[in-house]
Amino acid sequence: MKEQHNQWIKDLVIYGALFIVLLVVASILPAATLFIVVLMPVPLTIFTYKYGYKRGLLMSGIVLVSTLLFAFTLFLISLPLAGLSIIVGLFVGEAMRKQKHPYEMLAQGTLGYMVGFIILVFMIENVMGVSLMTEYRVIIQESLMQSEQLIQGTGIEVTEEMLNTIEQQMLIVLDLLPAILLIGSFIFALILQWLSYKLVNNIHQEANFRFPPFYRLQLPKATIWLFLVVMVINLIEFGPDALMTIILMNVLLVFGLLFSIQGLSFMFYYLQYKKQSKVLGIVLFVISLVILPVGLYVTRILGIIDIGFMLRKRLK
């Protein structure tokens, strides 16, 4: 009993130290932030998997207090990133501890990242006083000015209308920010879950975490009906700047990605059914990415047909 008590304290020190090291690296090397966003929740994820979310919260509190006491400036700079990593680490670690289905775990990880990103944006905007939208608009203006000078240097005339059109297209990113955050959260959660599976399986020989084969992925048929409802609502003219128009743009983008993933899953299923090499599927996947957006459009149609007409059952 005493040995177990000492072991969790040792693990708290080890994983807490790793968390702080990654926090320091993120503060010193801002260019590595994207990698840190994935790596930083890993120590807390493994610790929470072993000892539960209560001790995971304890570790989070100790790490934050230690950083606050010994490096106050570092704490202020990295607090948003630390908060994001704590939320995600607790979500994924507790899901692993409860042996939830990998896709359910992925959904929790995505939710954790989404909540963390929203808090991160809120803190940057309101605590640090930095407007991300304003900064993005400034970057667009500077890029357009540089592009205009380069094009005019070649003797091609650039009209104000052309520049306004390009600017409006680039500003669409701001309207699609919720969908972009959701897709980014999904990608980060997928990588984090894969890393956590690998590490936990190596540390604990009895653990056997793994994703089910990708070709078995099947979205529920209700997804089609929800998509049709959204498409019908999208026929209504709300105006280009209306809130409902922006919501529909984001929802349709997410649906498009889901159907593309379903189409890729069916492609691998078909190759498995025909006993073809997985390499062929990987090549087709790479081609679909290279010829964006045509490739994803084709896989999207394939995914819709697969769900709506149950292609897999028809193959059998």
What's the pLDDT at 189? Answer: 92
pLDDT (tens digit per residue) in 104-158:
899 888 988 888 888 877 777 777 677 777 777 778 777 777 776 776 666 666 6
- Is the pLDDT at 99 greater than 80, yes or no? yes
Residue 237, helix vs strand vs coil: coil
Q: One-letter amino acid identity for 218? A: Q
> What is the C-alpha separation between 158 and 65, in angstroms, rounded?
56
Q: Is there a contact between 260 and 285 (Cβ–Cβ < 8 Å)?
A: no
Given pLDDT bands bounded at 50, 70 and 90, which one contains residue 70?
low
Phi-psi region of 30 (alpha: psi -120 to 50; beta: other; left: phi over 0): alpha
- Is the pLDDT at 8 greater than 80, yes or no? yes
Given pLDDT bands bounded at 50, 70 and 90, which one contains residue 284?
confident
| Residue scoring higher pLDDT (118 or 79) | 118
- Is the pLDDT at 14 greater than 60, yes or no? yes
Given pLDDT bands bounded at 50, 70 and 90, which one contains residue 194?
very high
The pTM is what? 0.85
- Is the pLDDT at 228 greater than 60, yes or no? yes
Lowest mean pLDDT among 1-15, 52-66, 147-161, 185-199: 147-161
> What is the C-alpha separation between 12 and 63, in angstroms, rounded?
10
- Is the pLDDT at 181 greater than 70, yes or no? yes
What's the pLDDT at 31? Answer: 73
- Is the pLDDT at 4 greater than 70, yes or no? no
What's the pLDDT at 192? Answer: 92
- Is the pLDDT at 245 greater than 80, yes or no? yes
| Residue scoring higher pLDDT (205 or 196) | 196
Q: Is there a contact between 209 and 96 (Cβ–Cβ < 8 Å)?
A: yes
- Is the pLDDT at 20 greater than 80, yes or no? yes
